Structure 1
Amino acid sequence: MFTASIASPALAAWASGIATGLGLFAVVGAQSAFILRQGLMRAHLKSIIAVCALTDALLITASVLGLQMLTGVVPWLTQGMLWFGVAFLSWYGVQSGLRALRAESGLAAAKTAVPSRRAALLAALGFTLLNPHFWLDMVVIGALADGFAETRMLFAAGVICASVLWLMVLAIGSRLFAPFFTRAVAWRVLDALIAVVMVALAAGLLAKGI
């Protein structure tokens, strides 16, 4: 009984963290669209997943330890990240739109246009750290963690597990759908959809900043 009474709050905090993380992360946003495309191109996917998972883990831990207080100390940080996000998402949306207008020869041609590992990792960091929605998620996670008192780090562990799970779903999903992307038209449709997503996200952020 004594063991169960200790384990129950810990398990509840961890499970709540997983549920919260999936609710926040399991959406096809800017980072997800980028990972899917890199996975379909089989371009540095493992490195990208590792960087995204590590970045998420570090920021989730920091948010639970008090990162949400940072925006109160540096009030311009949120607005600055918003405008950086608008510029970054707009740029990538335009690039995706231009790719959608070009006639490519499918998966093989896409591989020839793959950036270097360094460029891919910098882009992954950009889609994570220059996304104001990501920082809003961190604030929400930090605020929710306060309600778990001494088990808040187990809550953080659950959120981290959810992040890794979603990243693995994206990685596996991109591999499963790879056979459908042997034709140029599939790549053009994908890039067109990515362009729409990026521009819509940038427009949403712009509307908030005005």
Structure 2
Amino acid sequence: MLESYLTGLIVCGGIIVAIGAQNAYVLSQAIRREHHWWSAGLCMAADVTLFTLGMFGVSAALMAMPQALEILRWLGVVFLGWLAVQAFVRAGRGRVALEAGEVTKRSLKGVLFTTLAVTLLNPQVYLDTLLLIPAVGAQQEDTTTFVAGASSASILWFGLLAWSGSALAPILSRPVAWRLIDGVIGLMMAGIAAHLAINGGL
């Protein structure tokens, strides 16, 4: 039972720790202190839901409809490209330094929508949560405990992103820091979009 839990924790942890569009977005929201715990919580909930659905056979349905993954792939490319352009524009124009009492923020609805899009428009998410992880879980002695371990990895990781980004916020008091952050985010989003378009996965 413990072995199944640890296997789920390690396998899932190894997959989600690699920085991708979802992680970059949650971290950027945490640094800005813009509904970052809501964004992280939505990512956790999405992972737990997909892990559970994967273990109950949704993966078989996706395998029967490869065109669905292809559509998601190109939607993801377009959306990530749009995020990259936005980040580059912010980096070029610059913006005021982050302040603890900053009033102008994105709405909770907007943050949650973007979080969902970054999460669900990446076909690799489905390959990992509905195919790869369930394939490993099916070999475990206790699949329920395995899913619990995989879910724990997601909760711990996104919780860490939300906490660490928020903790760094007081340090980011110079406008030039935001130019650098937006530039890096733009490059990351553009790189992921290009990789997704060329190779079909992240």
- TM-score, scaled relative to structure 1: 0.90
Q: How far off its partner does 1:67 sit?
A: 2.2
- Cα RMSD (Å): 1.7
Instruction: Indicate the structure with greater helix content.
Output: 1
The corresponding residue for 2:179 is 188
Q: Distance in 2 between matches of 1:83 and 1:110?
A: 39
What pairs with 1:78-117 in structure 2 (closer than 5 Å)? 78-108=69-99, 111=102, 113-117=104-108
Please say if residues 104 and 110 of structure 1, whose CA atoms lie closer than 8 Å, have aligned partners that are also in contact.
no
The corresponding residue for 2:27 is 36
Question: What are structure 2's unaligned runs of at least 5 residues?
Answer: none
Aligned length: 199
Q: Distance in 1 between matches of 2:65 and 2:104?
A: 40
Q: Which amino acid aligns with 2:89?
A: L
Q: Distance in 2 between matches of 1:72 and 1:167?
A: 28
Moved over 6 A (4+): none
Asked if residue 121 in structure 1 is aligned to residue 106 in structure 2, the reply is no
Question: What are structure 1's unaligned runs of at least 5 residues?
Answer: 1-9
Q: How far off its partner does 1:114 sit?
A: 2.6
CA offsets 1:86-144 (integer angstroms, 9 cap, x no match): 01110001101111111212104995553211010011111111112211211111111
Please say if residues 67 and 142 of structure 1, whose CA atoms lie closer than 8 Å, have aligned partners that are also in contact.
no
Please say if residues 52 and 128 of structure 1, whose CA atoms lie closer than 8 Å, have aligned partners that are also in contact.
yes
What pairs with 1:1-210 in structure 2 (closer than 5 Å)? 10-108=1-99, 111=102, 113-138=104-129, 139-149=131-141, 151-209=142-200
Q: Which amino acid aligns with 2:23?
A: S
Q: Distance in 2 between matches of 1:92 and 1:121?
A: 15
